[in-house]
Amino acid sequence: KAGVTQTPRYLIKTRGQQVTLSCSPISGHRSVSWYQQTPGQGLQFLFEYFSETQRNKGNFPGRFSGRQFSNSRSEMNVSTLELGDSALYLCASSAPLAGSTDTQYFGPGTRLTVL
């Protein structure tokens, strides 16, 4: 079974631009979560989508948004990029069974650099 895939793997943008990152979950997984990882803040939860609905959201400004399609693929968008948005963005998928037992499987990440 193929793992979680993320595209692109690397991205360089300038301040003020916007960016869209893509994530394809493991086949059969309907839940997709996004995380931002920086050296200073560690791993921070952005949002989770399940069956095209956002069911959980972290503490990030509205510039960060996402969506999920009917095939469970998800996109994350960041508008008006700031230098502090430079980070590794990780996507994870899971097959919800009973909540706390759901294991998340991560993709390789997209490394975003904002200049």
Partner 1 sequence: AQKITQTQPGMFVQEKEAVTLDCTYDTSDQSYGLFWYKQPSSGEMIFLIYQGSYDEQNATEGRYSLNFQKARKSANLVISASQLGDSAMYFCAMREGGNYGQNFVFGPGTRLSVLP
Binding site for partner 1 (CB under 8 A): 31, 33, 35, 42-43, 45, 48, 50, 55-56, 58, 88, 90, 92, 96, 98-109, 111
CB of 70 to partner 1, least distance (A): 19
Q: Smaller CB distance to partner 1: residue 2 or 98?
A: 98
Q: Smaller CB distance to partner 1: residue 50 or 67?
A: 50
Q: Which amino acid is at 19?
A: V
Q: Count CA within 13 A, CB hemisphere, residue 104.
A: 16
CB of 61 to partner 1, least distance (A): 18
- Which residue from 23, 20, 104, 26 is spatially nearest to 69, judged by alpha carbons? 23
Q: Smaller CB distance to partner 1: residue 17 or 54?
A: 54
CB of 18 to partner 1, least distance (A): 23
Whose structure tokens read 């990152």?
21
Q: Smaller CB distance to partner 1: residue 64 or 80?
A: 64
